[in-house]
């Protein structure tokens, strides 16, 4: 039996008018792993993430989920396929509590046709517990009262609650201090350990080297290489990011796509 990556992009092109932003991009994300997506400012990371999440439509190439080619027309379609993007701004509602945020738009209705608060509260608590989250005291806390790390936790737990297959985390530690960064990285690992294919978009090489299993490096809209983290040093990754040259890794120049 062939085991497919959970998400695979093959030969993806994306232009905005005359501007070629992504060219022939290959990228894979596997269940149970953290796949980092790195690259300098303007390399095309956000554009690639938006293509994965159905915000942009790709011009050419293909996207596969569990080996099946898919056309991701819009974010709703992406969600249906199990793809969840956790954006930097997190899109949480400050005036709602944790349970309300986790179930927003997908509320449970009781047999009496009212909101099934008990069931939602129980599921929210179970989900946080499954991720060993101990930093949140009450699931009835308003999101406005949470720290940056706790907000990130709620956003990640939401993707677990909705059984996402692929979760893209966009700079999850960018606004966090040392302790909260460590907690969120732990959570990222646990998310992968639950069988999710986690894609971590990050500029922080310490985070990437600490938590990633695989690293895809975009350089000027091309995938310079996707490598196993254990096969590379941080210096080599930084060199790939800044030069796009794979020679330093002992790989042929212009290698693209996944390196198993």
Ligand X SMILES: Nc1ncnc2c1ncn2[C@@H]1O[C@H](COP(=O)(O)OP(=O)(O)OP(=O)(O)O)[C@@H](O)[C@H]1O
Q: Which of 44, 53, 172, 244 binds ligand X (CB under 6 A)?
A: 44
Residue 83 engages ligand X in binding (rule: CB under 6 A):
no
Residue 173 engages ligand X in binding (rule: CB under 6 A):
no
Residue 23 engages ligand X in binding (rule: CB under 6 A):
no
Is 116 within 8 Å of 109 (Cβ atoms)? yes
Residue 242 engages ligand X in binding (rule: CB under 6 A):
no
E strand intervals along 110-221: 166-170, 197-201, 214-219
DSSP 3-state assignment of 151? helix
Give whole-number Cα distances, 210 to 143, 180, 227, 234, in Å: 29, 15, 15, 10
Residue 19 engages ligand X in binding (rule: CB under 6 A):
yes
The residue range among 35-43, 85-93, 130-138, 189-197 that interacts with ligand X, by the rule CB under 6 A, is 35-43
Is 199 within 8 Å of 37 (Cβ atoms)? yes
E strand intervals along the chain: 7-16, 19-29, 34-39, 60-65, 68-70, 83-86, 166-170, 197-201, 214-219, 222-228
Closest CB 93 distance from ligand X, rounded Å: 25
Q: Closer to ligand X at the Cβ: 21 or 124? A: 21
Q: Closer to ligand X at the Cβ: 37 or 259? A: 37
The residue range among 36-44, 111-119, 125-133, 242-250 that interacts with ligand X, by the rule CB under 6 A, is 36-44
Q: Which of 46, 150, 164, 180 binds ligand X (CB under 6 A)?
A: 46
Site for ligand X in 47-76 (CB under 6 A): 47
Give whole-number Cα distances, 83 to 45, 91, 107, in Å: 16, 16, 19
Task: Give contact residues for ligand X (rule: CB under 6 A).
Answer: 16, 19, 21, 39, 41-47
């Amino acid at each position: 039996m062939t085991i497919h990556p959970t998400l695979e992009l093959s030969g993806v092109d994306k232009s905005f008018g005359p501007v070629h932003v992504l060219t022939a991009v290959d990228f894979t994300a596997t269940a149970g792993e953290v796949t980092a997506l790195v690259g300098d400012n303007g390399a095309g990371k956000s554009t690639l993430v938006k293509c994965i999440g159905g915000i942009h439509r790709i011009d050419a190439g293909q996207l596969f989920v569990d080996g099946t080619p898919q056309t991701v027309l819009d974010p709703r379609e992406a969600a249906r396929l199990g793809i969840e993007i956790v954006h930097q701004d997190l899109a949480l509602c400050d005036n709602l509590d944790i349970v309300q945020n986790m179930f927003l738009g997908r509320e449970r209705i009781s047999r009496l046709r009212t909101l099934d608060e008990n069931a939602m509260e129980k599921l929210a608590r179970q989900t946080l517990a499954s991720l060993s989250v101990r930093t949140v005291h009450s699931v009835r806390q308003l999101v406005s009262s949470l720290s940056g790390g706790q907000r990130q936790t709620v956003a990640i737990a939401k993707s677990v609650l909705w059984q996402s297959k692929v979760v893209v985390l966009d700079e999850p530690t960018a606004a966090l201090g040392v302790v909260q960064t460590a907690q969120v990285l732990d959570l990222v690992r646990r998310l992968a350990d639950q069988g999710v294919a986690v894609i971590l978009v990050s500029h922080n090489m310490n985070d990437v080297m600490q938590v990633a299993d695989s690293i895809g490096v975009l350089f000027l809209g091309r995938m310079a290489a996707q490598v196993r983290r254990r096969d590379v040093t941080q210096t080599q990754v930084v060199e790939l990011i800044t030069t796009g040259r794979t020679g330093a890794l002992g790989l042929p120049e212009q290698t693209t796509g996944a390196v198993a």
